[in-house]
Structure 1
Amino acid sequence: MEWFESWFDTPYYHLLYNNRDYTEAENFITKLTQELQLPQSSKIIDLACGKGRHSVFLNKLGYDVLGLDLSQQSIEFDKQFENESLTFKVHDIRNAIDSEPVDAVFNLFTSFGYFDNETDDRNVFKSVYDALKPNGYFVLDYLNEEYVRKNLVPESTVQREGINFHISKKIEGRHIIKDIRFEINGEAKHFFEKVKLHTLEVIENYASECGFERIKIWGDYQLNDFEKEISPRCINLFKKNN
């Protein structure tokens, strides 16, 4: 079992990250859909949708949304939000997407770069390309490799509902590795996250091999222009070429 299969399906993963700013995320998605000029009723795939917060908000904005995620538990949770224009399915982002062609695919908040095998990374782009209509958009929201290297915090402790999550981060080769340790009822728990530090060039190569054109890079969730030295995010906008 891959690290993300075990970690993402635990309640502790969702507990650790339950402080994520919903208002910031909703403002980001609102700006993003306005920037792309996606008319209401456009079909959007939220790829690696987790607990569905972005899918639900996109649907409230008037879009027809399919949320996909590897975590069975997350999708079971998401099912409560389903309606005629919002559905959720279990899906591995490396595999072909079973869907009619869509106007846009969003992969948000660093849900890429988990795989050791480069073929798996390429397969993600291929599956997205095949799922899009001609001239469809792919938004890949990723970390900025250079920013991460310069601003790494090696040790920290996060408290959530009486649990102290001890977190250590390090860079090994092309990966950033986050070790997460805590105790539950006296029992030690250990999980980790491992994400590739993909460069701008590598991401663009994956995209162009499939037939995408990168037409924009934003550097944060306010959609400011990307600056390699200081931008915390690398939000790529690709368009499907025909």
Structure 2
Amino acid sequence: MTNNTSTWFTSWFDTPYYHILYKDRDATEAHAFMDTLTDYLNIPENGTILDLACGKGRHARYLNKIGYDVTGVDLSENSIAFAKKFKNHRLHFDVHDMCLPYRKQFDAVFNLFTSFGYFEDDADNLKTIKAIKANLNERGFAVIDFMNSEYVIDHLVPEETKVVDDIEFRLKRYVDGDYIIKDIRFGVGDKDYHFQERVRAFTLQDFEQLFEQAGVYLLDVFGDYKLRKFSPKTSERLVMIFK
């Protein structure tokens, strides 16, 4: 079964296998990053945060736990259905397309863990930045936590096999034009599956151009989850704060 790669994220993210493959992601690191980020931004007590492309809500749930009123939105109906099990009066989840502004404004908008650069149409990337701007109140800050494309390309592991829950995932990674591609193949029972992740290899310069077009101001750039200085060659992440 091969998905339609032009909207690969709508099918792959909605399968249980996506969550199986990535279930060992480091929660401790993610929580420490949220602590550091909210402290740095000085988000007011009981402040409101929009977690854009929230997946199953792991960041949103933690942000709520440390005192914020959080709304998590994602295109994946399955992910949101799962996340809604954890909702409370200050933790909300909704199916929503990140290209469009959400219906209210927030003290902060977070787009975390390389949840950007999926679109085939360049116009959608700019629409997303404009939507983020529209969702900020007058004192709000936005954060995009992206991969450092240069570092990722330099350290690409071309082939890898991961066995999770008795499923053998065969992964191939390569660069195709402006995209970093991950081919994912595995079998379950007598059925073979093939999915593909395609993420645009945006650089800081690419983002700067988008920010200028969207009329937002880049305030800070960091290279990791401890908010240390960004270096194109050695930083693993590209964390940008703008408003």
TM-score interval for Structure 1 and Structure 2 normalised by the shorter chain: over 0.9
1: CA distance, partners of 2:164 / 2:71: 31
Identity of aligned residues (%): 46
Give the match for residue 93 of structure 1: 98
Shift of 1:145: 1.5
1:106 and 2:106 are equivalent in the alignment: no
1:190 and 2:185 are equivalent in the alignment: no
Contact 1:40 1:61 survives alignment (8 Å): no
1:45 and 2:59 are equivalent in the alignment: no
Contact 1:41 1:62 survives alignment (8 Å): yes
What code does the residue aligned with 1:139 have?
V
What code does the residue aligned with 2:203 have?
T
2: CA distance, partners of 1:158 / 1:223: 30
1:64 and 2:62 are equivalent in the alignment: no
Shift of 1:202: 1.2
Q: Secondary structure at the match of 1:29?
A: helix
Which residue among 153, 169, 174 is the counterpart of 1:170?
174
1:141 and 2:145 are equivalent in the alignment: yes
What code does the residue aligned with 2:194 have?
H
What code does the residue aligned with 1:15 have?
I
Which residue among 63, 74, 78 is the counterpart of 2:83?
78
1: CA distance, partners of 2:73 / 2:172: 30
1: CA distance, partners of 2:154 / 2:194: 26
Q: Deviations over 1:17-67 (max 9, x none)?
A: 001000000000000000111121111000000011111110111111110
2: CA distance, partners of 1:114 / 1:165: 22
Structure 1, 43-52 or 198-207: larger mean CA deviation? 198-207
Contact 1:180 1:190 survives alignment (8 Å): yes
Q: Deviations over 1:106-160 (max 9, x none)?
A: 0000000001111000000011101111131110000111101211110001110
Deviating runs (4+, > 6 A) in structure 1?
A: none
Q: Secondary structure at the match of 2:217?
A: strand
Q: Secondary structure at the match of 1:146?
A: helix
Q: Secondary structure at the match of 1:212?
A: coil
Shift of 1:92: 0.9
Contact 1:28 1:221 survives alignment (8 Å): yes
Give the match for residue 204 of structure 1: 208
Give the unaligned 5+ runs of structure 1.
none
Which residue among 31, 38, 48 is the counterpart of 2:36?
31
Give the match for residue 164 of structure 2: 160
Shift of 1:237: 0.7
Which residue among 14, 18, 23 is the counterpart of 2:19?
14
Structure 1, 216-225 or 189-198: larger mean CA deviation? 216-225
2: CA distance, partners of 1:201 / 1:75: 33
Shift of 1:7: 0.2
Shift of 1:96: 2.1
Matched positions, count: 238
1:123 and 2:127 are equivalent in the alignment: yes
What code does the residue aligned with 1:203 have?
F
Q: Deviations over 1:147-189 (max 9, x none)?
A: 0121111000111010110000010110001000000002111
Q: Secondary structure at the match of 1:95?
A: coil
Give the match for residue 219 of structure 2: 215
